[in-house]
Structure 1
Amino acid sequence: MQLTFTGRVIEWRGPAPYCFVPVPDQESADIGEVTFTTSLFPKDGSCLLPLKQAVRRPEGPAAGDDVRVELTVRC
């Protein structure tokens, strides 16, 4: 499954700060219909896509920035 969307980077404070891009509702619903193993985080009926610090450093997106995401979900 190939998904493309634009989302706003959010910061989640916990034991360590994490940055995520919320996956839109329709795309989350489509993902929910497939069985898979991934690092997507379920949250309130939707999904959050984690952005690793190693990925953010070269590109520079931070909390509040809009990013374009191309996501491949493999079953």
Structure 2
Amino acid sequence: MDLEFSGDVWHWRGPAPHHFVSVPEDDAATIESVAAAVTYGWGMIPVTVHLGASTWTTSLWPKDGGYIVPLKLAVRRTEEVDVGDTVRLRLTLDV
């Protein structure tokens, strides 16, 4: 399953600070419909993420009834992405 969407980069300042993009509600509902078949626990969903010329594997995190995509520091540096930027992501889920 491939999903493509745009979203704003935001920063979570928790005990392990990180940068994320929230999955839009419609796409989150689509992911939720296959979540039981692909999760490895705690609601985490393994995905391949494409941003610009960068591709990496990670897991979507469940948050507030939806999902968020963590952005690796190396990818943010390579793609010159920072907080508040709008990015276009493509997610690939192996269903």
> TM-score under structure 1 normalisation?
0.93
C-alpha separation in 2, matches of 1:15 and 1:6: 27
Q: Which runs of 5+ in 1 are unaligned?
A: none
Let me know the Cα RMSD of the aligned residues: 1.0
Gaps of 5+ in 2: 40-45, 47-58
Normalised by the size of structure 2, how large is the TM-score?
0.74
Q: Determine which structure has greater relative contact order: mean sequence separation of CA pairs < 8 Å that are 6+ residues apart, divided by chain length.
A: 1
Q: Which is richer in strand?
A: 2
SS at match of 2:26: helix
Q: How many corresponding residue pairs?
A: 75
Identity of counterpart residues, as a percentage? 52
- 4+ aligned runs moved over 6 Å, structure 1: none
Given candidates 46, 57, 60, the residue that maps to 2:77 is: 57
